[in-house]
Amino acid sequence: MDYSIRPDGILLSEPDLDLNETLDCGQAFRWTKTASDYECTYEGSFLNSRLVISQLRPGEFLLHGVSEEEFLGKWLSYFDLDTNYSELKRQFSEDETLSKACSFAGGIRLLRQDSWECLVSFIISQNNNIPRIKGIIGRLCDKYGGRFPEAEELATETPDTLAYLRSGFRAKYICDASSRTAAGITSLSGIAEMPIDSARKALMEIKGVGPKVAECVLLYGMHRTEAFPIDVWIKRVLAAYYPDGFPEYAAENAGIAQQYLFHYIRSISGRTE
DNA sequence: CGCCAGGACGCCC
DNA sequence: GGGCGTCATGGC
């Protein structure tokens, strides 16, 4: 990773990042691709900061209007730029399937997202498809002026007052997550520091949070890279390529490996959304 | 129209 | 403990 400061923002050089692969692969739902003169441009936000980022060419990016302080204090961490993904992929590539997955979409990175937003987003994701997940979260943020609401703000809602989301049976789960978090019964910052099995149990005390959603919150919202969400696609990968279990040497970063595999298995079965 | 979606719950055995 | 119907909504 390298960067330079320009009048129009931060110019970032990072060969192991591709914006389409990272921002549109189902780990985050609030980035939108906007038309531009570049390869691609995305707009989105993390906590209360909005970002417009362009991919100028493979491995080169412009973070529009971002100061060095904002870059070092926020976006460097969000895009996990202090982790060496070349080294990770080199380790993964001992395995034949993982090797293919890494070379298919080598620009995927694990974003360090906000745990609360992540919890609500993956509650919404259950038995749902990505375009509709984005729609529900978009309607939620629209109501709060384009930002993601705090637990305290959602804690006063009911499934009826959340009807505008059209989130279906998931509304009652959003309410439970909000009231528990706002009341301090669930402490996401505390859970983030727990041993992983205790963290899983604590998350699953929330109604609507089962093994899959808990694992996603741990991986995407708490950067627990050993967390390994198993959805229908990863089940197919495990059945087809890992009948004797996932490689032990990759266990510490199994969640990152899972990202490459998810993208790969969907591509070879003809899915892009 | 039917099938499926980055699942979890409640109930059954 | 595993198996199965159900849950809203909408993309395709």
Mean pLDDT score, A50-68: 97
DSSP structure class, residue A160: T
Mean pLDDT score, A144-171: 97
Give A35 or A68, the one with higher predicted confidence.
A68
CA of A70 to C1' of B4 (A): 42
Q: Does residue A183 carry a pLDDT above 70?
A: yes
CA of A138 to C1' of B13 (A): 43
Is the separation of the CB atoms in A26 and A13 below 8 Å?
no
A96-109 per-position pLDDT tens digit: 999 999 999 999 99
Mean pLDDT lowest for which of A155-159, A162-166, A263-267? A263-267
Topology annotation, domain A115-222: Endonuclease III; domain 1 (1.10.340)
Mean pLDDT score, A49-77: 97
pLDDT at A236: 85
Three-class SS of residue A32?
strand
Q: Where are the beta strands (DSSP E) in A137-229?
A: none
Nucleotide nearest to A169 (CA to C1'): C8
Q: How confident is the model at residue A69 (pLDDT cuts 50, 70, 90)?
A: very high
Mean pLDDT lowest for which of A119-123, A178-182, A259-263? A259-263
Q: Domain limits of chain A?
A: 2-82, 115-222
pLDDT at A14: 98
Mean pLDDT lowest for which of A45-49, A77-81, A234-238, A250-254? A234-238
Element (H, E) at A12: strand A9-13
Tokens of A164: 């505008």
Tokens of A36: 């531009």
Nucleotide nearest to A25 (CA to C1'): B6
Mean pLDDT score, A153-177: 97
Output the pTM of the full model.
0.97
Mean pLDDT score, A25-42: 90
pLDDT at A116: 98
A209-248 per-position pLDDT tens digit: 999 999 999 999 999 999 999 988 898 889 889 988 889 8
Strand B bases near protein CB (under 7 Å) are 4-9
pLDDT at A271: 65
* Residues 110-129 of A with CB within 7 A of strand C: 127-129
Q: Does residue A272 carry a pLDDT above 60?
A: no
Contact between the CB of A131 and strand C at under 7 Å: yes
Q: Does residue A26 carry a pLDDT above 70?
A: yes
Q: According to CATH, what is the number of the domain A2-82?
A: 3.30.310.260
Q: How confident is the model at residue A48 (pLDDT cuts 50, 70, 90)?
A: confident
d(CA A122, CA A32): 18
What does each C-alpha distance from A65 to A10, A12, A44, A51, A144 come to in angstroms? 7, 13, 14, 9, 24
Q: Does residue A273 carry a pLDDT above 70?
A: no
d(CA A21, CA A158): 36
pLDDT at A81: 98
Mean of the per-residue pLDDT values for chain A? 95
Contact between the CB of A166 and strand C at under 7 Å: yes
CA of A131 to C1' of B3 (A): 17
Mean pLDDT score, A135-144: 97
